[in-house]
Amino acid sequence: MWCGCKRTCPNRNAKGNQRRTVVSLVGGSVNKGNGANTGSNIRTFFLIMVFVSMAASQDKLVQLPESAGVWTRTEALKRVTEKTIFEYMDGAGELYIGYRFDRLDVATYQAPEKEDISAELYWMESSDDAFGLLSLDWSGESVFSPVNLRLDSNALMPIPPHRCLYAAGLLRLWSGRLYARILAFPETPESREAVMQIGRALMAGQEHLPPPRFISVLPPRISDGWLLESNQVSFLRTHLVLNSVYFLSFSNILNLDLSCAAATGRYRQESGGLQSGAIQVIAVEYPDSKKALLGLAKFHKAYFPEAPTEPKSKWIPGTPLLVRTETGFSGYVMLGRYAALGFDLPDEKTGESVLHEMLDRFKNLQ
């Protein structure tokens, strides 16, 4: 199993094989085979165990194959951090640091007279953040047997079961805290198979965790026949990512940051089809009720500048507030540290149904 390190890694011997340290505890000390039993060896023992555990963990994290078809991986991975991500990509870096981003490792596969294949491994701080990146675009062909890779808990989630999506030479996948993009351009049958081989190796080495719990706050159906479009559900944390899904404002008027969790989805009427109007629902979990109240107060001032009632004045938390806008009605409701907002609501009745439904969902979370 490749651990992602060079041949000079201290975890390997001169022949490139994994070193093995044999230790045994005798009478409370460490016997390393040479008869030397000192108190300091206890510390050495635990340091060795920590090192071996870290090495094993690294083995699990990185399982890139050395070759894929006729393509061979170059020796070194390129490490990209939050400080250098904008040097690696121009503009798109904001999307990744809009989640809790740890690092990016980039591998390149080369073959004679072939275009390179790049494998970008985005390591996030949690599985929720890696899922969020995949959830921004559900388009593409679902690959790698969804029966084997999806979890039963997905059946309770208003989202597609996909974990790996492929289109036009690009494979995107989510597995544990890893979000990966493997790209071969131009696409050929040969390059497609190589991309799939790399993707299968990555998926085999990861723990398949469930989607974010907060996604389930979005009801699959709202009264009056409004159905959630599962391929329009996204998980996010920051306003720049929200704007890529549903543009709200250039400013951070909901006071979102990496301490928040948000789910947004689009609803259409059951009998209306794609030509009917759609409503957008945004649900936010703030760290505490104070931050939630501040976020709604900031939103109200920016989005409803002429509406007299603000969250900090006469408005009562737990009571839906609706305001007529150019696109129908918009409104919000808050309960504790949870807030829900509805946009493009066709009438007041629908708005009340949406916000009351969200209020009931929040009560189940408490």
Domain boundary among 204, 236, 270: 204
Coil, helix or strand for 119? strand
**Does 87 lie in the same domain as 26?**
no
pLDDT tens-digit series, residues 275-310: 568 999 999 999 999 999 999 999 999 999 887 766
**Does 57 lie in the same domain as 71?**
no
Taking Cα atoms as reference points, which of 103, 11, 105, 114 lies closest to residue 67?
Answer: 114
Higher per-residue confidence, 2 vs 200: 200
pLDDT at 364 over 50: yes
pLDDT (0 to 100) of residue 76: 85
**Does 83 lie in the same domain as 57?**
no
Q: Kindly list the distances between the CA atom of residue 5 and the CA atoms of 89, 209, 242, 287, in Å, as whole numbers in the listed order.
A: 25, 26, 37, 39
Domain boundary among 156, 179, 204: 204
**Does 159 lie in the same domain as 71?**
yes
Taking a C-beta distance cutoff of 8 angstroms, is the pair 279, 343 a contact?
Answer: yes
Higher per-residue confidence, 28 vs 75: 75
**Does 33 lie in the same domain as 134?**
no
Taking a C-beta distance cutoff of 8 angstroms, is the pair 321, 309 a contact?
Answer: yes
**Does 101 lie in the same domain as 46?**
no
pTM of the complete model beyond 0.85: no
**Does 143 lie in the same domain as 52?**
no
Higher per-residue confidence, 282 vs 274: 282
**Does 334 lie in the same domain as 253?**
yes
pLDDT (0 to 100) of residue 267: 95
Higher per-residue confidence, 166 vs 60: 166
Angle at Cα 112 formed by Cα 106 and Cα 117, nearest 5°? 25
pLDDT (0 to 100) of residue 63: 77
pLDDT at 151 over 60: no
* Those residues with Cβ within 8 angstroms of residue 93's Cβ, 6 or more apart along the chain or in another chain: 85, 86
| Count of structural domains within the chain | 3
**Does 286 lie in the same domain as 220?**
yes
Amino acid at 10: P
**Does 83 lie in the same domain as 34?**
no
In terms of residue numbers, what domain contains 5? 1-61
pLDDT (0 to 100) of residue 30: 32
pLDDT at 39 over 60: no
Residue with tokens 């389930």: 216
**Does 294 lie in the same domain as 237?**
yes
* Those residues with Cβ within 8 angstroms of residue 176's Cβ, 6 or more apart along the chain or in another chain: 127, 130, 206, 207, 208, 209
pLDDT tens-digit series, residues 158-175: 788 889 999 999 999 999
Which of 258-262, 271-275, 361-365 shows the lowest mean pLDDT across its residues?
271-275
pLDDT tens-digit series, residues 180-203: 999 999 999 999 999 999 999 998
**Rounded mean pLDDT, 315-324:** 82
**Does 341 lie in the same domain as 264?**
yes
pLDDT tens-digit series, residues 111-141: 999 999 999 999 999 999 999 999 999 999 9
Domain boundary among 204, 233, 250: 204
Which of 189-193, 252-256, 319-323 shows the lowest mean pLDDT across its residues?
319-323
